[in-house]
Each structure stands twice: as structure tokens, then as C-alpha cells.
Amino acid sequence: MAVLYFFREPETVFDCAGFICVLQFLMGCNGFGIRGSNFRISRASRIYSMSVAMAALVCLFGSLSALLAAEDVRERLAKADDLVLSISVMELVMSTLVFVVTVISLQVFARRHLGIYQRLAALDARLMSDFGANLNYRKMLRKNIALLGIVTIIYLISIISAAFQVASGHRALFLLFAFCYIIVTGGPHFTGYVHMTLAEMLGIRLRLLQQLLQPEFLNWRFPQVQVQELRIRQVVSMIQELHYLVQEINRVYALSLWVAMAHDLAISTSELYILFGQSVGMGQQDEEENSSSYRMLGYVALCMIPPLYKLLIAPFYCDRTIYEARRCLRLVEKLDDWYPQKSSLRPLVESLMSWRMQAKIQFTSGLDVVLDRKVIGLFTSILVNYLLILIQFAMTQKMGEQIEQQKIALQEWIGF
């Protein structure tokens, strides 16, 4: 596929995840960089991450202060809707807080974060050397490039176009502010996509291990009794290792993921208000103002795509991975029935089942919010209910305006 012409053929999990991790690193949201075909934590990578974060925040608020000092900008803000201004201030404060929390938490857990990829790489090496597995890194890399490329282009176009539209005599400052805002909001966005990709990677390996546990495959691929038992033990240990990786991902992303989800939900509802609230009175403006307002609303709608996608799709990946993990454990339970002659497997199965009862594995964020389909339903219901409230509010406002116009017309007809 043409999208991979500029990328080398992926051979390891580091090559597969390198594209998305580089984007996360460029935004200052992880503490390790890429050297060759591996990830490395160094003093230079730490300094770069913190420098990018501090420079982005300084330039963001520096350009904002310069813009607020301009007389024409203050006049335009004085004419703007108070509630929209409040939403904009809230978004700026929340985005800054989320960015700072994400940078600090991922710097603190940088070695654990890197350890997840190293453990995945070791597990993949065992799968390929002992079982001859094909992990199809190319397909995963192609998906990451296509998805993140589309989302990034949409996000950049919407923010930069909005900056060009509102810029009048201060284009350089508006563009600097927009660029810094992209870094401050893009870092947590890419962090959410990294978490989503990790969940998907675990799910792919769990589905592969299900195939490796099938008696037909084991009897065909490893007819020797001793080798077959060894491979079964290896598969069971890899299943347990993937469960441990779920817990490790939860530790690394607990705080950053929770604040990012809270921000995504808040900004999505706020942008819904801007879309519906500002579109109510647009018919009363002249044609040029209507065109400008419609373009701005279009930019706002495009900005909603990345947070909404993360908010609603990421829990789906997490839920599916946990489903595949449960299927693996159910297959392990059946080993006693499939191989009754191998009594040495019984203690292995019993110990894994006992561990399963004690360690309930789920993808979670901060405050132990379980990321599954129920969370998707909860977020969807919140957004739909908020949307219905906005529609009802818009209809009530229009009805009030019509009643007021009828009163004025009636008073003019009577002669008051």
C-alpha cells in the first residue's frame, strides 16, 4: 500500500508502534525516544520532553497575553457571547491542566511505559521462534498511519483555519497561539490513541494464543508428547503475561487517561452547546456574517472528531481485549478434558484458575472507572441527553422570539 512507501518494513513491535510513539514524543508526552529499532530513555529525551512542554505553555499564554493587550481584540471579545467566552476559558484551563498532568505522569512512569513494549517484544520473539507465528506488523502500522494521518489532518485544518478566520491584523500571534494549542491538546489526544493501540495489540496476541491452544493445531504442529506439553505451558504463561500487561497499562495510564476522558466529555458537551446555541440566531444576520458563522461552526464540529472518537471507540477496544482474555482462560480450563493423560497439566490449570479468581483483570482509568461497553453507553447517553436538552432549549428560545414578535405586531396594529 502506498501509505507505507516512506516507512521501512516493520519487523518488531518497536517498528510497529514507532510511528505513534514518535508523535507522542514530539508532543512532549513520553520520556523515551527511538534509537534504531528500539525505544530508549536518555537524559536528552527527558530534557526534550520537558522543554517542549514548557515552551508550548509559555508560548501559548505569552501569545494570548499579547493578543489580549490589543485594543481591537478586546473590542471583539466585549461583543462576544459571555457563555461562549466562559466555555473558551474553561477549555483553555482544562486543556492546560490535562497536558501538564499527562506530561508529568508519563515522565514519572516512563520506565514502566517502556517496559510494556519490551515485554511485548519478548513475548513476540517467543511466538515467532517457538510457534512460527506471523504477527502481521505491516497491517497494524498501516492502520496507525492511516487513522492518525486522517485525524491529524482534520485537527490541524480546523484549528489553523479558525485561527486564519479570526485573525485580523495579528495573524502571526494567532498562528503561534494555534500552534501551541495544537501541541497542548494534541499530546493528550495522541496519548489516548497510544493506549488504544496497546489494548488492540494485546487483543491480537490473545486471539493468536487461542488458535495455538487448539488441540488440532498442537497435535499437528507438535506431535512429540514432551514438546507439546512444553508448548502448552509456554502458551499458558504468555496468557498470564498478557493479563499482567493489562494491569501494567492501567498503572501507567491511570491518571493521564482519566483526566483526558473528563476533558473530552466536558469539551464535547461545550462544543455541542456552541454548535446549537450559536446557530439559533444566525438567520437574523446578513449573508456575509452568516457565511463566516457557518465556517466557524464547521471548524468547531471538526475539532469534536478526535475527542469524540477517543471517548467512544477506546472503551470498545478495551472491552474486546478483555473478552478475548476471558476466552483464553476458558480454553485453558478445557485442557484437563482435552489431555486427561497429562496429569502434570492439572496443577497448572488449577493455579491459573485460582489466580484468575483473585485478580479480576479489567482496563481501568483513574478512580477505577472500568473501560468497557457500559462506559460507551454511559457517555453516549450523556451526550444524547445533552443534545436533546439543547434542541429543546433552541425550540423554546425560538418560540419565545416568535411570541415576542407577535406581541410587537399586535401592539403596532392596535396603535400602542
User: Is residue 3 a contact partner of residue 145, using CB atoms and an 8 Å limit?
Assistant: yes
The pair phi, psi for residue 364, each rounded to 5°, is -135, 160
pLDDT per position as a tens digit, 278-287: 655 554 555 5
Distances (CA, A) of 111 to 114, 115, 193, 300, 400: 5, 6, 19, 37, 60
Q: How far apart are CA 136 and CA 118, in angstroms?
A: 18
Distances (CA, A) of 56 to 182, 187, 192: 9, 11, 20
Q: How far apart are CA 344 and CA 335, in angstroms?
A: 11
Give a yes or no: residue 383 inside a domain. Answer: no
pLDDT band with cut points at 50, 70 and 90 for residue 147: confident
Give me the numbers of helices (H) and strands (E) for the chain, helices first please.
14, 4
- Report the number of distinct structural domains present in the chain: 1
Residue 51 class from Cβ within 10 Å (0-12 exposed, 13-18 middle, 19+ buried)?
exposed
pLDDT score for 155: 85
Residue type, 27: M
pLDDT score for 38: 80
Give a yes or no: residue 377 inside a domain. Answer: no
Q: How far apart are CA 4 and CA 23, in angstroms?
A: 17
pLDDT score for 352: 83
The pair phi, psi for residue 365, each rounded to 5°, is -115, -170
Give a yes or no: residue 392 inside a domain. Answer: no
Q: How far apart are CA 84 and CA 333, in angstroms?
A: 57
Regarding predicted confidence, which is higher, 345 or 193? Answer: 193
Residue 132 class from Cβ within 10 Å (0-12 exposed, 13-18 middle, 19+ buried)?
exposed
Q: Which of 74-88, 145-159, 248-262 has the lowest mean pLDDT?
A: 74-88
Give a yes or no: residue 2 inside a domain. Answer: no
Residue 315 belongs to what domain range? 13-280+288-371
Q: How far apart are CA 344 and CA 354, in angstroms?
A: 17
Residue 3 has pLDDT above 60, yes or no: no
pLDDT per position as a tens digit, 210-222: 999 998 888 888 8
Mean model confidence pLDDT for the chain:
82
Residue 206 class from Cβ within 10 Å (0-12 exposed, 13-18 middle, 19+ buried)?
buried
pLDDT band with cut points at 50, 70 and 90 for residue 119: very high
pLDDT band with cut points at 50, 70 and 90 for residue 1: very low
Residue 262 has pLDDT above 60, yes or no: yes
Give a yes or no: residue 215 inside a domain. Answer: yes
Comparing CA positions, the residue from 68, 72, 71 lying closest to residue 85 is: 68
Give a yes or no: residue 381 inside a domain. Answer: no
